[in-house]
A and B are shown apart, each in its own frame.
Chain A
């Protein structure tokens, strides 16, 4: 029998665990200084906990959301999302810059008012060390290749760092100013450190951003507060608490119950509930992404040969024309999506580009297949040619309800022209292995494009087939390659525009995929908050501008303030 005297130590142990080992350390309230008209605490739910807050190791949005508001870049991309030259950039840690006469170096002048959150003045040595960590392969930066065109960074004086380039490129400024967050050299430890994740800075970041880091309670939350003396003026909110959920569903629940003020993206199944909720506003958020069905144009069994079905351009065009994308988008996303026109979001495809898309036309699709020799035989409605059936296996992530729904509709629509679509639901790791190993027929995925479409080369050109590239379709067209190269290397805006038009029209005509939807990711936001804008480049860019009007503040908005407030 378990007597009470035996149970007491057990109870004590449980209670002890409840308040010590299980909870992690807690920090005392941080004083945010003068609250004034600004103020309030926003609780932002993340569907996963960041693993590190060291900018150089950032690999996903959970990390990016925190790092982006604690650290600064030398310059940021402006609202028009242009990356060519320096005209579209906004000064951040660099207050100005000077190109050399041969355009092979840029000297960045740092803002003399800028201070690290520990009070140390920012210096050009910080820029030099940050570059070393990002670009030197001995460290663990996953994006080391993005700095391939930068030869070195030298220190001109304590507030001037000069970037030296190997060759001229329209993206020189973008490469130097945007990919890298500047980290404090005095906190980066010995130069020999290769396991960067072990640095104290990885769990307690010290940046120059408009919020400064306060505390990270593992498994629970990260707290940042407004840097009241920031050189770029303080953020409007007093405090942001990033709280962690185990997945999208759990994070959504946090918003519905009022435990969190913001989460992005809400699942499609939650949007109706969010619209009906008095606590939540649904804010459509246009990302730089689109969803598509990517075809493999090469034979999975022997990549030196064309795919027996999808290697035929006529088949790909017919499948695109047989897809009623408007109906799919309407059925799955309602007003939270628009039909994708090409492998680029509309923000980069102005109307005067003159792009002609493959519109929905079942009769034309059938005629195209007939003329290419794909015919239905006997009682079987599925077409075939030379004994090869028009049968395509489309791989899709197992836990992706929207893609599942789209695929069911697509299956139905393509059946009407005699194409059989077989759905292959795979765990995400298996799907990635299948596609990156080029063992697929087709796959349904989303692609978030880089600002300025600089990823076009890596995703769709001939050079990106196999090896280091991400051209998983094996798409190859010299016209597209040449136009993309011109687009990415020209300095002349008119030439850039013409090249983009040619590249986009070529790839749309060749149809290495069916461009389905540009999703307006719905964000669930508390009605307490006035968000201002949610920039396409990352909603977190707008976080310092969020406001909670005084009349909408609740108990948690008074955190850290004197009780009289």
Chain B
């Protein structure tokens, strides 16, 4: 018993160490790469803005940007270890404050899209998997392949053009309307939901297609397993048989869930840009252009942590679905 407990603890610590290493490596890479790129946060513009070179150097020095990279790295590592993510030169605020605002917006969008993709994708795929070759299966496969092969940003632009610019059914950009502060509570709820629809749909359609294709394939295999025949032979009703087969077929899809997390994060960056969703992805793109070193490095830390958490969540869900994996 204690041996099993010890092994489990060792596994947990091993996984934790692995996660921390991944986060550190990603942050270090971001730190080095961005600082190696030409320019710095106080780069002079070419369009006539009148900051002198001496002033530029002086302002950069105040932030320690003229120190050797190794010195900057050690300083950043020490500060990050104490929970200080630094000062955003682009947003003129502590990085922590900017992330505190933008991260929940990205998480909201991603979690809703991920949850819906998983739900719709597995349901659609499972339904298809038990009807291989039917007209419905063919139609669903064609539709999901079509969506699957379309880049998220293109799909987002298409949705924006159709539902916002042409039909005027939904707002085009932002999280709320300019008049939001002056609305009644009910109108605010409606306004928020309306602004959520298009970016959520852009991410969810692609996610649903991805999950459906995997689920269909694994359901098809499970549907031909001997235990399905046995269940039928024992007289289990068709719904029960499907539930048994689906549970088995769910495991590979849950593996995909972990892998899909970083892809969704990347997709969210494009979708946030197109719909002006003020999330972390949008802020990070601006920060990269402005060479806001500390914000970008912090965003990479958060992004890799989210990916690691997604992976852990996928493991947990797999074990939930398949007790044989609980060792």
User: Could you tell me which A residues sit within 8 Å of B by CB distance?
Assistant: 1, 10, 14, 17-19, 21-24, 26-29, 41, 43, 48-49, 51-52, 57, 59-60, 137, 140, 142-146, 197, 202, 215, 217-221, 223, 241, 243-247, 250, 253-254, 256-260, 289, 427-436, 443, 445-450, 455, 458-459, 467-470, 472, 555-556, 559-560
Contacts and interface: CB of A to CB of B under 8 A. Distances in A.
A18 B108 contact: yes
Contacts of A17: 104, 107-108
25 contacts: A19-B192, A22-B104, A22-B105, A23-B176, A29-B181, A51-B90, A143-B51, A145-B55, A217-B181, A218-B101, A220-B175, A241-B179, A246-B173, A246-B272, A253-B164, A259-B172, A259-B174, A259-B178, A428-B289, A429-B38, A429-B39, A429-B43, A430-B38, A446-B46, A455-B48
A250 B59 contact: no
Contacts of A428: 289
Contacts of B172: 250, 253-254, 257, 259
Nearest to B180: A26
A95 B168 CA distance: 49
Q: Which of B45, B48, B54 has the most CB of A within 10 A?
A: B48
A23 B192 contact: yes
Contacts of B102: 219
Interface residues of B, number: 65
Contact of A447 (B46, B52, B277, B278): B46
A257 B163 CA distance: 10
A14 B105 contact: no
A447 B175 contact: no
Contacts of A253: 160, 164-165, 172-173
B48 A26 contact: no
A51 B97 CA distance: 13
Given A22-B104, A243-B174, A27 B181 contact: yes
A443 B46 CA distance: 10
Contacts of B177: 259
B44 A256 contact: no
Contacts of A143: 50-51
Q: Lowest 7 A-B CB distances belong to which pairs?
A: A219-B278, A433-B38, A429-B39, A197-B92, A468-B52, A241-B178, A448-B48
B62 interface: yes
A41 B286 CA distance: 29
B55 A144 contact: yes
Contacts of A429: 37-39, 43, 289, 291
A51 B47 CA distance: 20
A221 B37 CA distance: 32
Contacts of A459: 48
A219 B175 contact: yes
A289 B47 contact: yes
Contacts of A448: 47-48
Given A143-B51, A256-B165, A435-B46, A245 B37 contact: no
A44 B278 CA distance: 17
A42 B273 CA distance: 24
B322 interface: no
A556 B289 contact: no
Contacts of B192: 18-19, 23
A215 B182 CA distance: 12
A14 B196 CA distance: 12
B35 to A, nearest CB: 12
A454 B108 CA distance: 50
Contacts of A243: 174, 178
B53 A432 contact: no
Q: Which of A259, A467, A555 has the most CB of B within 10 A?
A: A259
A247 to B, nearest CB: 7
A561 B275 CA distance: 31
Interface in B51-72: 51-55, 58-59, 62
B181 A259 contact: no
A443 B168 CA distance: 42
A289 B46 CA distance: 12
B111 interface: yes
B91 interface: yes
Q: Which of B55, B182, B282, B289 has the most CB of A within 10 A?
A: B182
A51 B92 contact: yes
Given A18-B192, A429-B37, A43 B164 contact: no
Given A250-B275, A253-B160, A436-B44, A146 B50 contact: yes
Contacts of A472: 46
Given A18-B192, A559-B179, A560-B182, A250 B273 contact: yes
A233 B254 CA distance: 65
Interface string B23-42: 00000000000000111000
Given A21-B104, A257-B171, A250 B38 contact: no
B180 A218 contact: no
B276 A244 contact: yes
B162 to A, nearest CB: 12
Interface string B149-185: 0000000000010001100100111111111111000
B274 interface: yes
Nearest to B193: A18
Contacts of A458: 50
B53 to A, nearest CB: 5
B44 A202 contact: no
